[in-house]
Amino acid sequence: MGEALVCKNCGKLSVRPALQCLSRYALLAWLYVAIVAALRPVALSRPVVHIGCPLRLDTFGEVCFPVAVVAYLAQAALGSRQW
């Protein structure tokens, strides 16, 4: 995993793979919450994590969407043209 974050040409640390992974997984998680909200709105109040802080499914969706947008915009600002 660490090798994927290092540029092959110059040997410097690259955050583009991490931003790609973060933006895609956060967007997929938000899409999952949107589908659950459309099909079973009652399930939004259920907790996602039972250990530690009780994170509800709707709160998880509210966090995932801005994370996906910020990661995508940071990726675009770095000049990555993967999407």
Give the model confidence (pLDDT) of 14-43 as tens digits.
Answer: 788 888 889 999 999 999 999 999 999 998
Looking at per-residue pLDDT, the higher value among 8 and 65 belongs to 65
Whether residue 7 is contained in a domain is answered as no
Whether residue 83 is contained in a domain is answered as no
How would you class 68 by CB atoms within 10 Å of its CB: exposed for 0-12, middle for 13-18, buried for 19 or more? buried
**DSSP three-state, residue 11:** coil
Whether residue 32 is contained in a domain is answered as yes
At 52, is the pLDDT very low, low, confident or very high (cuts 50, 70, 90)?
Answer: confident
Whether residue 58 is contained in a domain is answered as yes
Q: Which domain holds residue 44?
A: 14-77
Instruction: List C-alpha distances in Å: 45 to 15, 18, 36, 67.
Output: 35, 30, 11, 21
pTM for the complete prediction?
Answer: 0.73
What whole-number distance in Å separates Cα of residue 16 and Cα of residue 35? 28
